[in-house]
Chains A and B, each alone.
Chain A
Amino acid sequence: LLHGEGGRVMRRFLRERVLGRLGEYDVQIDADAADLGQFEGEVAITTDSFVVSPRFFPGGDIGSLCVHGVVNDLSVSCATPKYMTLAIIVEEGFAISEFDRIVDRIAGAAKACAIKIVAGDTKVVPKNSVDGMFLSATAVGVFREPRLVGPKRLKTGAKLIVSGPIGEHGFAVLCARESLGFTPAPKSDSSPLQLATMALHAALGSDLFAMRDATRGGVAAVCHEWAEACGNAMWIDESQLPLSDSARGVSEILGLDPLFVAGEGVFVAAVASHRADDALQALRRVEISRHACVIGEVQPCRVSPVLVRRGVGVDQPLDEPLAAMLPRIC
């Protein structure tokens, strides 16, 4: 790809490379703005950027990750994804074949998620201005009833559920980026959470209090956010955390706590304690959340906002480091 080409070349490129591949969707590149028509219900909107390196990793790629990212943000808010926009910033000299592959992945993921890409933009920037390719997406959806009460009003006793194995994406990307030889090699869990969140919401209704995808900062970040929002403590039983063999292997060897590692197809839910079993039943019927389990509960806060019951039966505070991890005891 060459930088700075406008006019016909770029238009042709976009038409052939991007629109062609996003083909069956209603991409309105010629209009200044897309007409989304009327919405039935309240509208949700979210936006996110994607800069993952490497762009292809076991279990996923930057393209599908971009679609899943915005779809999941809507899903955990109990909004049905409808439309999205897409901006591609690509470095001069980027291989066209890879560009094509990524656009294909975007198209495939959008199709699978039943979300329409309604506007887009592509910029080619000088070498070294970006690391290969950055994507940015905005998505809108429609809230389903009943709306979640949200983390602000989380009461003690509520059960915390995680929809599947944690930390899969972070470990996979790390190992791919640094060519770390682990067997089994960790695989990203990048996938849409629409079905799982819908199933849970349908089963529990207003007994589902809050959901959040455990992306950057992992389950720990979700817990800290919720604890801060409601003033109660999030208590997690380490022995209940679903963890794949590969993630366990990497985390033990590298000394990384999987609670802090990102997943891209996993979310945390807080539900009424008497509905925990119903929640698990609903979740386990959906493929992506078949390993869902209760990992803890909301407790009154004594000292620390997030606690983990570790192996020997002692509650350890899960502190968020100020910035980079500077181990306290080593």
Chain B
Amino acid sequence: MSVVRTECEQQPCRNFVLTGLVQGRGVRPAVSRLAVRFGLRGFVRNSAEGVDVTVTGDVDGLTAFAEKLGQTYRIANAWTSDAGEQFDGFVIRESRVEGSFATVVPTDVAICSKCIADLSDGNSRRFGYPFTTCTQCGPRYSILAAMPFDRQRTSMHEFAMCNACHSEYTDAADRRFHSQTNCCANCGPRCWVTDQYDNVLESGPGFLSFIADAIVSGQIVAVKGLGGYQLMCDATQRDVVAELRTRKHRARKPLAVLVRDLRMAVEIAEIDSGSQTQLSDPANPIVIMPAKNNGLLAEEISPGLNTVGVMLPATGLHWMIADRVARPLVLTSANLSGGAIVYRNDDAMSALREVADLWLHHDREILRPIDDSVVQFVAGQCMTVRAARGISPMSWSRSVPSSDTIVSLGGHQKCSIGIATTSHWLLGPHIGDLETEETRSRFMEETAAWQKLIGNRVGSYACDQHPDYFSSMLAEKSGQSVVRVQHHHAHVVSAAFQHGLLDQQVLGIAFDGSGAGSDQTIWGGEILIASPSECNRVGYLQPFRLPGGAAAIQQPWRTALSLISQVCDGNELDAWIHKFTDRLDLSTACFMIDNAPMTTSMGRLFDAVAAISLGIFQADYEGEPAMRLESACDESETGSYRFELHSGDSLLLDWRPLLVDLLEDLPSLSSGRIAMKFHRAVANAVVEVAGRFAGFPAVVCGGVFQNRLLLKLIHDRATALAVDIRFPGSIPTNDGGLALGQLIAASAMTPH
């Protein structure tokens, strides 16, 4: 004994704190193997800060170990100390629960190829077991009760490991060494099939053929996935997809497609290497790609669009169904249009009674409901459209640790919340549009649950400037101090952060549907020079009115009428009115336009052009007219319309000459060419604006810049003219990224 102690004194301990995404990713087993390899003793454990490592041993071993560790992980802190105790070997210790939160909350990980191999191998003890996972894959965030990520703090704690699983768990050589979600058919979660009366129809291994047969025969199945229930049906049967749309009250909004593997994905989509990487990423997002127009998928999947959203199986359960059915499947969040995702077994039956024919439940509780993520690969860059399962929560360490702790509540649509801890910026998962009672109540629950998870005390709130946003009202009601950040300022700060431009002023080109401006009008076509703490509006789209207010979103002809009224005389206007509706006369139309709210929204300009050139008078979802306009583009058209840029006190992007030319083209030019000329005009204007403010790095942001073709055109022109424009990336450029911009702006605007 005394010999060991002497050795300890001669060989001090080295300590490391690893941060970043280090929990739920098999880091502790890997560190443990590494330590053993270099003959070191000590321990590794999860903590609030990340992963703590303490090792002792001979000097060469320690040096080699430290070097290897640094190559693989981010070492936030390292120091040498006396060993306060003696170590017999190297162990994984119980997590340290106290301390201030600094680590990254682990995200859900799609099933890995080794686990797929296990469950499809007739000789494996996990053959046909849908909940197969390992240290590299499986549910994380969605089953997490509290940090650090350990089985006893997840909904897996209800499943005690059987002997076979436990021996894997304790065997350093096993892939499932210290896998927190380790389980098998003998000890883990089970699934079963019920009908709408909750009668169990199948609870054994027969569930698979039962479900597969039902899908092939045209039924709609509610499947409990990782983040919530999903609706699944055959994506090749038109009447089935149409029926799903009817039941879900979702007329045309695109539906995602699940395929077994990349081979099947290639049959339905044009996959470039960037998209392929996204598809196979452990985050398992839906990837939007050009659709192959080969009639394989039902037209009803993404009506009017030339793209399709595709995903690979997230879990063994998904893989097994996709494998057995062997055709593409519709996979969409189980909710009614506009509602929040259903995730509790008890709710699934009643909430989905009108929608599903069969239910495939399982008994692992979902603690944090989360939707599927959506990404796309455009102009050489991957951009997040919706940050949710597998991607969220996102976190970044703050460059300068700060004492301010802020919670930001985002906007009104595509809401997510942000948290600033003393050490990190965090952006939570997509929750939804705060238009329904359900999403509002989910928003409040998640706001509370999230803060609890992070252990953050709220110093202040950040929110939008719109007085009637639910999120802004919540912040006001909190009784804490509130920083209101202008909508497009938040967009620009979020984009500047994406590109590491927080320490300077940037030119932000923020084009979106709408946000409250600081002049009581609705903004959405903004050119801003902004830093996190300041924002100057240096230009904007020529303002116009939105007749009917919010009704203009559902009926894009209203905006079209308003625009046309600015460039046409009474007779022409009258003719357009009759084209759009038979319930409006000229004087009523003029009254309606004159009394409507004023806007500079680029999103609404897209709507209007879609209404005029494609005849889209009714929109099923926000953005539909613009998306269909993009899809309609005939890329062989090389011409362009032109925004006139008037420079005065502010730069004015005047769309009126554009509209005059467009109306002139209307009788003679195809809608595809008109749409293309419009897209070019917007792209050219963006590049020209960036060129005029060449002294500032330019970022584009806002929902309009989810338009693939628009980004491609901007990219090509900017490259040709050597103008530096930065595109959206991992942080959603739509309102899903607002909360992050709000956090950073609020922090910069608050005197410390």
Contacts and interface: CB of A to CB of B under 8 A. Distances in A.
Contact of B470 (A182, A317, A323): A317
B514 A314 contact: no
A329 interface: yes
Interface string B713-745: 000000000000000000000000000000000
A244 to B, nearest CB: 15
Nearest to B437: A315
A255 B467 contact: no
A178 B590 CA distance: 10
Nearest to B524: A330
**Chain A interface SS verdict (over half):** loop
Given A253-B592, A314-B338, A316-B437, A326 B413 contact: no
Closest 4 CB pairs of A and B: A255-B548, A255-B551, A312-B249, A327-B549
B311 to A, nearest CB: 25
Nearest to A315: B437
Given A255-B550, A321-B468, A328-B514, 7 more contacts: A252-B583, A255-B551, A314-B339, A317-B435, A326-B520, A327-B514, A327-B550
Contacts of B337: 312, 314
Given A329-B513, A330-B552, A180 B468 contact: no
**Chain B interface SS verdict (over half):** loop
A7 interface: no
A324 to B, nearest CB: 8
Contact of B597 (A314, A317, A330): A330
Given A312-B249, A314-B336, A330 B604 contact: yes
B617 to A, nearest CB: 13
B338 A303 contact: no
A255 B468 contact: no
A313 B249 CA distance: 9
28 contacts: A178-B591, A181-B587, A182-B583, A252-B583, A253-B584, A253-B592, A254-B592, A255-B552, A303-B440, A304-B437, A313-B354, A314-B336, A314-B339, A314-B436, A316-B338, A316-B436, A317-B440, A321-B468, A322-B467, A325-B597, A326-B467, A327-B549, A327-B550, A328-B466, A329-B413, A330-B513, A330-B522, A330-B597
Interface of A: 178-182, 249, 252-255, 302-304, 307, 311-317, 319, 321-323, 325-330
A282 B583 CA distance: 37
Contacts of B470: 317, 319
Interface of B: 249, 336-339, 354, 412-413, 433, 435-438, 440-441, 444, 466-470, 513-514, 516, 520, 522, 546-553, 558, 581, 583-585, 587-588, 591-592, 597, 599, 601, 604, 622
A328 B588 contact: no
B588 A317 contact: no
Contacts of B435: 316-317, 329
Given A312-B336, A319-B468, A326-B467, A181 B583 contact: no
Contacts of B546: 327, 330
Given A249-B583, A328-B469, A330-B604, A312 B338 contact: yes
A252 B592 CA distance: 12
Contacts of B336: 312-314
Contacts of B520: 326
Contacts of B441: 302-303
A326 B468 contact: yes
Nearest to A175: B588
